[in-house]
Chains A and B, each alone.
Chain A
Amino acid sequence: MRAPAPRYAANDGVIEAAKAALGDMLVEAKDAVGEVSLTVVRENLCDAMLALRDTPGLEYQQLSEIAGVDYPQRAERFDVVYQLLSFTRNHRIRVRVTTDEEKPVPSVTNIWPVAGWLERETYDMYGVLFEGNDDLRRILTDYGFQGHPLRKDFPMTGYVEVRYSEEAKRVVYEPVSLAQDFRNFDFMSPWEGAKYVLPGDEKAPQPEAKGAPTPATAAQVAKADATPAASQAAQGKDTKTTDSPAQTGAGQPHPGNQPGEKPKDPDVVPTKGEGQNK
């Protein structure tokens, strides 16, 4: 490892020891980026954790963290990831189970009481249920909050916003309204698998991919290229052309800026009452 990240005891032999201790409770064990990850059968989580804590040679005494991860395309969409720490062996390990919205994960609060809040947080953020945690309330979100905000299908802006209402003299909840559209820029390099057709590439054979709204999709670009005449005809009289001197306003008694004569500016919203220009 060249990076200056925390250096703990080597991973040698940890997977073998875990395999011996867990037996068929272990689904998968891998050593990637210098860290050992074990995937265990969800139903046997507590037994596996006890084995990891109490087997000599493993001795993971402390539960540092529980994290949820959401992969919506999977059948069991959630990962629940436990980070364990061994003081005596100076080693960290990661234990993972998968679940979905309904299947509960056994709670490890009886092994490590610290799991209580960590499971509450995972429940709050992802809606993962923990069987055996007798205090599975929301923890970080607001009282009365609905939804699970860290799921990938939960919008970043949320659904409600909160403000103090001077009329109601209390805090009110309203559907979220954005002064400006939420912009999620596409920074991906167009040469490395952009999900839209590059302008000029329309005739090349395209792989099937989801279209992104900006810039114009291949269909829009192709249509604009193929039918220039038709699109002009469609625009028709709205096209701004000056056909005769009369249209220029020349020779008229006033310069054409009287209130009644002003062209409608779509950007200017008329005021309801009498504006300041009256």
Chain B
Amino acid sequence: MSDTVDKIMERDIDPATGDTSIANYTINFGPQHPAAHGVLRLVTELDGEIIERIDPHVGLLHRGTEKLIEYKTYTQALPYFDRFDYCSPLAMEHSYVLAVEKLLDLEVPLRGQYLRVLFAELTRICNHMLNLGSHVMDVGAMTPNLWMFEIREDCLNFFERASGARMHSNYYRVGGVRQDVPVKLLNDIAEWLDTRLPQLFGDAISLVAENRIFKQRNVDIATVSREDAIKWGFSGPMIRAAGIPWDIRRSQPYDVYDRVDFEIPVGTRGDCYDRFMVRVEEVYQSARIIKQCIQDMPEGPVLTLDRKVGAPKRGEMKQSMEALIHHFKLFTEGYHVPAGEVYVATESPKGEFGVYLVSDGTNKPYRCKVRPTAFSHLQAMDFMSKGHMLADITAILGAMDIVFGECDR
């Protein structure tokens, strides 16, 4: 008997309950994990299968872009923005060109503004296809992802036809867009919005939206209250899912967003399912905006005619000495931006994407700070997943819509 008691004492068994006291278990989620959506390392402390604490380690994709931009002219800095959130490149460019235009106090031709809004919304569809698809795949469904990738492929083809590049378009310019689009492209987009998009997307979503397993994995997972959403700096679908009808396109309209009609979906519970459904509805609203853009778009120039900022066309350069000089100056020295500072935030598909630009009056930005959407969302990972199961991490991450190009910069 006494032997048994000794053994129990040695093995640190609590005789009152009979339970063994166990230490918390710490695991690494990532950096190489298919559901981490890139290079994310989550140091996760588990009590059994319950998450006690999560410490996200980010920065594995840090490329020092902000430093690089300080050494580039304003024109040369633009392609770096495609590489921030590489799933919605044009939305990233949008913030930057608006910031530079604000410093320059530059007018943009109406057709240029319409084209920017059109392609920003196409980017939103493209981004949501990737996010919604990978979200359903993270929680176990396969087919919707394949169908949504079809839509994404269509979007990328449209980008290619407009800009020449599928992903890193580098299409927006300070003062408008690089070049006008062919009429056939607008017709094709309009037709696609009426046929393929609702068909494929509707089919894909019908498989999961009311699906019992999908709901079990998402409803009431990681609920966020309105107060928390504000305190933790949420934006975009994350804050709308928490029940705050905040959309920069509506509240602080830029380009021609005040001329188009659209609705802002808002969640009621603030859980992963709401975030998913907010994005689903945003796709339909984006399609609405694109249709209106195609309808209302006036004829005219797409890039500012201020030759101190907007580059002349090649045909013009063959005829005009002035144009040739402007072209040479714009592509060597670039344009000078008046000294000052602006913070311009737009509604990117993932949330508020801001650019804080400090100019010292030269042809290069003195400081270009990017406000990524993922930074604040990922920081909230700890309190959002506390008390949930290990398997819920993928659902929470999937519903956050994180891309490390912009998180780590």
Contacts and interface: CB of A to CB of B under 8 A. Distances in A.
Tell whether A and B belong to one assembly.
Answer: yes
A6 B408 contact: no
Contact of A6 (B244, B344, B366): B344
Interface string B92-107: 0000001101111111
Interface in B210-237: 230-233, 235
Contact of B62 (A6, A61, A68, A141): A141
Contacts of A1: 102, 105
Contact of A64 (B71, B107, B371): B371
Nearest to B249: A6
Contacts of A173: none
**Most chain A C-beta atoms within 10 Å of own C-beta, residue among B68, B251, B369:** B369
A5 B102 contact: yes
**Most chain B C-beta atoms within 10 Å of own C-beta, residue among A94, A138, A187:** A187
A65 B354 contact: yes
Contacts of A67: 356, 367, 369
A116 interface: yes
A159 interface: no
A35 interface: yes
A34 interface: yes
A84 to B, nearest CB: 10
For chain B, give the interface size range: 35 or more
B379 A117 contact: yes
A33 B59 contact: no
Contacts of A65: 343, 354, 356, 369, 371
Interface in A128-159: 138-142, 149-150, 154, 156, 158
A87 B246 contact: yes
Interface string A61-95: 11111011110000000000101000100101010
A150 B358 contact: no
A150 B66 contact: yes
Interface stretch (B123-131, B144-152, B285-293, B333-341): B333-341
B379 A83 contact: no
Contacts of B346: 6
A113 B371 contact: no
A4 interface: yes
Interface in B55-85: 58-59, 62, 64, 66-68, 70-71, 73
A149 B321 CA distance: 43
B332 interface: yes
B376 interface: yes
A83 B371 contact: yes
Contact of A149 (B67, B108, B332, B376): B67
A34 B102 contact: yes
B235 to A, nearest CB: 8
B244 A87 contact: yes
A143 B113 CA distance: 43
Given A1-B102, A5-B342, A188-B333, A139 B354 contact: no
A32 interface: yes
Contact of A140 (B58, B101, B102): B58
A2 interface: yes
Interface stretch (B16-24, B132-140, B252-260): B252-260
B367 A7 contact: no
A33 B340 contact: yes
Contacts of A94: 341, 343
B327 interface: no
Interface string A118-132: 100100010000000
B295 to A, nearest CB: 20
A72 to B, nearest CB: 12
A156 B364 CA distance: 15
Interface in B353-409: 354, 356, 358, 362-363, 366-367, 369, 371, 375-376, 379-380, 408-409
Contact of B341 (A33, A125, A139, A189): A33
Contact of B343 (A2, A92, A141, A184): A92
Nearest to A138: B59
Nearest to A5: B102
B100 to A, nearest CB: 9
Contacts of A149: 64, 67
B341 A37 contact: yes
Interface of A: 1-8, 32-35, 37, 61-65, 67-70, 81, 83, 87, 90, 92, 94, 112-114, 116-118, 121, 125, 138-142, 149-150, 154, 156, 158, 184, 187-189
